[in-house]
């Protein structure tokens, strides 16, 4: 089966050549939910923006690679055709529903905007009501302004607008990060149900491993613009292979454990200060001067690590 | 609280404010040197008993508090008083001139709003681009030029040197042409003063529109609208214009007083028979009742403009409590 979304060798760079995403390959099948995880600054959001063809600041561009949606390479589409894909074939949900809704427009106008942008202008009130119903909101919510809605309701409005035209792919960028824990579960459940009911492919971007475990079929772990490990969600949680993945999983709070969670030393390097070789090697307990600091590890068998064998026993055991 | 209740409450608050303005104007003018009788009589050596009689006729022999009380009493009954200089009731003088001023300021404000908003949006769309730099430079230059000086330049260039447009008045003195020809003739008279008056406000409105639009275009909700596939034109109309509108309206509303002051200068330069020209003449003639009436009208207009601005702001943005 051909993938719904097929990203191959994607590189996103700033105008001065510094790369935010490098040589990223990732596929999402119909009906599949793929998690893209990593710390802040790892390039997850840039990957999402590259798929949409919208960057939040000028000077950022896709410099290499393909982004195929149902076989069409989005990166080579002219701007007008690209706009036709946004909202119609790809829906996007953002992190903070408060700032991603126009404060002066009603919920209904936001959803109506999605229809109107793609030339659907008949029976709009009924369509808006149906879109609201699909996210468990009453039709009366259409007349509400964002400040009259709760955080969870706002996110539901954004999801309704993103799914209004029945896209094939939904990109959700940290959809629950800005919400209360009690509301998070409801939103995740909604996304799961929508994906199942519509056969939607979902690219879920998050730093929250709990969200990944609950929602995803497959996970790709990103570090400093590159994917370092990719696996089935159960396999990844059961047996993380990359030292970075192992560190991430060890830093999750575990109420059953007395000791404080593990904290990986260091942080993600800035786009202008990427280390040579494996980008993780300055933080890696197993790193060797050669090859780790000298050459980029190839991505093979779902893993990009020179020290895969040594890591099998747990990279951080001594730490 | 409902919008209607808010509007009524604000109108109620305007009454003591305008009363204070009326008292202050009266006291200030009464305290200024010179009086209408000397202005009326002029340098001609008038017999003292004649001057005394005129003073008595106009009630100027009374002490100031008495005159103030009488003025406020008349005002409460809607009587604006009698103009010594024009020998006519102030109300009819003002009514006669009001249309010309409304035509001039209305045209200037309308054109300035449309053009200013359009230029500001166009500049913001490509911030840092050629058009943006041209608009910003032009706006700074236009904002720095006083309307009376600009008006005189216009008269020199378009009326005196080129001879294209009339320089004085709001229409031909006699025999205006009927139908469309008359309308076009009227527009020819309106063009120079309206442009001289509008230029500052085009600049002001373009600058505030551009500044707000640049901010809004960077907002995350605009990114979300793009992600839904909305076109740039729709984003400008639906999101940018709407979110910029409160700031633009506020600037327009709070400049209502300056627009009227500018109109007085422009009317004087172009011989436009409006309220501003009447004010200028009444000051020169020490025509106190006319001065007071016009000053009060200007104050009322400013209060009203601010009220309208605030009501519109509330209509546009329901979050304003």
Exposed, middle or buried: residue A145 (CB in 10 Å: 0-12, 13-18, 19+)?
middle
> What's this model's pTM, rounded to 2 decimal places?
0.84
- Other beta carbons within 10 Å of A84: 16
Domain count, chain B: 1
B219/A145 touch (CB, cutoff 8 Å), yes or no:
no
Q: A162 — contact with chain B (CB < 8 Å)?
A: yes
Q: Is residue B14 part of a domain?
A: no
Range of the domain at B220: 97-316
Q: Is residue B75 part of a domain?
A: no
CATH of the domain at B290: 1.10.3720.10
CA angle centred on B291, ends B290 and B295, rounded to 5°: 120
- Tell me the pLDDT tens digit for each residue of B140-182: 888 888 888 888 888 888 888 888 888 888 877 666 677 788 7
Exposed, middle or buried: residue B231 (CB in 10 Å: 0-12, 13-18, 19+)?
middle
What DSSP assignment string belongs to B287-302?
Answer: -HHHHHHHHHHHHHHH
B223 neighbourhood in chain A, CB within 8 Å: 54, 56, 94, 100
Look at the block and give the residue holding tokens 């942080």: A267
- CB-CB: which of B223, B229, B319 is closest to A83? B229
| Distance in Å, alpha carbon of B91 to nearest chain A alpha carbon | 44
- CB-CB: which of A56, A86, A103 is closest to B228? A86
Please state whether beta strands A5-13 and A61-69 pair in parallel, antiparallel, or not at all (unpaired). antiparallel
DSSP A262: P
Q: Is residue B68 part of a domain?
A: no
A102/B229 touch (CB, cutoff 8 Å), yes or no:
no
Q: B132 — contact with chain A (CB < 8 Å)?
A: no
What was the ipTM of the complex prediction?
Answer: 0.89
Backbone angles phi, psi at A164, to 5 degrees: -55, -40
A161 neighbourhood in chain B, CB within 8 Å: 228
Q: How far is CA B182 from CA A31, A173, B172, B174, B187, in A?
A: 72, 64, 10, 12, 9
Asked if residues B274 and B101 have their Cβ atoms less than 8 Å apart, the reply is yes
A94/B220 touch (CB, cutoff 8 Å), yes or no:
yes
- Tell me the pLDDT tens digit for each residue of A223-237: 998 999 999 999 998
The one-digit pLDDT tens for each residue of chain B (321 residues) are 688 888 899 889 888 999 999 999 999 888 877 666 766 666 667 777 877 877 777 777 788 888 889 889 988 888 888 887 788 899 999 998 998 899 999 999 999 999 999 999 999 988 888 899 998 999 888 888 888 888 888 888 888 888 888 888 887 766 667 778 878 888 888 888 999 999 999 999 999 999 999 999 999 999 999 999 999 999 999 999 999 999 999 999 888 888 888 888 999 898 888 898 899 888 888 888 899 999 999 899 989 998 999 888 888 888 876
What DSSP assignment string belongs to B173-200?
Answer: SS-PPPHHHHHHHHHHHHHHHHHHHHHH
Q: Is residue B36 part of a domain?
A: no
| Distance in Å, alpha carbon of A147 to nearest chain B alpha carbon | 7
Q: Which helix (H) or strand (E) holds B257?
A: helix B256-270
B226/A145 touch (CB, cutoff 8 Å), yes or no:
no
Query: What token pair was written down for A86?
Result: 């946004």
């Amino acid at each position: 089966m051909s993938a719904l979304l097929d990203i191959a060798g994607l590189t996103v760079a700033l105008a001065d050549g510094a790369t935010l995403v490098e040589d990223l390959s990732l596929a999402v099948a119909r009906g599949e939910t793929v998690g893209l995880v990593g710390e802040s600054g790892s390039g997850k959001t840039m990957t999402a923006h590259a798929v949409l063809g919208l960057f939040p600041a000028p000077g950022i561009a896709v410099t290499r690679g393909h982004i195929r949606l149902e076989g069409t390479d989005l990166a080579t589409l002219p701007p007008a055709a690209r706009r036709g894909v946004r909202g119609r074939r790809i829906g996007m949900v953002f992190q903070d529903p408060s700032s991603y809704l126009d404060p002066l427009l009603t919920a209904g106008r936001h959803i109506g905007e999605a229809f109107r942008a793609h030339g659907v202008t008949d029976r709009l009130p009924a369509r808006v009501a149906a879109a609201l119903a699909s996210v468990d909101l009453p039709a009366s919510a259409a007349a509400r302004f964002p400040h009259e809605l709760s955080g969870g309701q706002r996110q539901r409005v954004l999801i309704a607008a993103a799914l209004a035209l029945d896209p094939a792919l939904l990109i959700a960028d940290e959809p629950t990060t800005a919400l209360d824990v009690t509301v998070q579960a409801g939103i995740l459940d909604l996304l799961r149900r929508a994906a199942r009911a519509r056969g939607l492919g979902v690219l879920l971007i998050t730093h929250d491993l709990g969200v990944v475990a609950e929602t995803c079929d497959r996970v790709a772990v990103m570090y400093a613009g590159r994917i370092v490990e990719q696996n089935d969600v159960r396999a990844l949680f059961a047996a993380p292979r990359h030292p970075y993945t192992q560190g991430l999983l060890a830093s999750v709070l575990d109420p059953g454990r007395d000791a404080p969670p593990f904290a990986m030393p260091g942080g993600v390097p800035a786009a202008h200060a990427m280390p040579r070789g494996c980008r993780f090697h300055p933080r890696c307990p197993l790193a060797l001067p050669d090859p780790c600091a000298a050459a980029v590890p190839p991505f093979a068998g779902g893993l990009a690590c020179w020290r895969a064998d040594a890591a099998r026993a747990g990279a951080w055991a001594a730490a | 609280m409902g919008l209607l209740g808010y509007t009524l409450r604000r109108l109620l608050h305007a009454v003591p404010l305008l009363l204070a303005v009326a008292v202050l104007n009266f006291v200030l003018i009464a305290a200024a040197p010179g009086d209408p009788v000397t202005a009326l009589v002029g340098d001609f050596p008038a017999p003292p008993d004649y001057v005394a009689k005129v003073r008595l006729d106009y009630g100027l022999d009374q002490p100031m508090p008495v005159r103030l009380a009488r003025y406020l009493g008349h005002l409460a009954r809607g009587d604006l008083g009698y103009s010594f200089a024009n020998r006519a009731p102030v109300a009819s003088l003002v009514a006669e001139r009001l249309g010309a001023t409304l035509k001039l300021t209305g045209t200037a404000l309308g054109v300035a709003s449309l053009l200013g908003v359009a230029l500001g949006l166009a500049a913001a769309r490509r911030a840092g681009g050629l058009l943006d730099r041209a608009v910003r430079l032009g706006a700074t230059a236009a904002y720095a030029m006083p309307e009376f000086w600009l008006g005189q330049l216009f008269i020199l260039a378009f009326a005196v040197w080129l001879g294209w447009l009339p320089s004085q008045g709001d229409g031909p003195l006699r025999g205006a042409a009927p139908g469309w020809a008359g309308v076009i003739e009227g527009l020819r008279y309106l063009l120079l003063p309206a442009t001289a008056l509008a230029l500052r406000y085009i600049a002001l409105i373009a600058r505030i529109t551009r500044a707000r639009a640049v901010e809004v275009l960077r907002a995350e909700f605009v990114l979300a609208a793009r992600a839904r596939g909305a076109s740039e034109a729709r984003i400008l109309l639906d999101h940018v214009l709407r979110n910029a509108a409160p700031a633009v309206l506020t600037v327009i509303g709070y400049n209502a007083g300056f627009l009227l002051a500018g109109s007085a200068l422009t009317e004087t330069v172009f011989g436009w028979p409006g309220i501003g020209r009447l004010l200028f003449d009444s000051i020169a003639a020490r025509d106190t009742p006319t001065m007071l009436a016009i000053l009060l009208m200007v104050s009322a207009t400013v209060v009203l403009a601010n009220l309208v601005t605030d009501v519109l702001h509330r209509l546009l943005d329901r979050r304003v409590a």
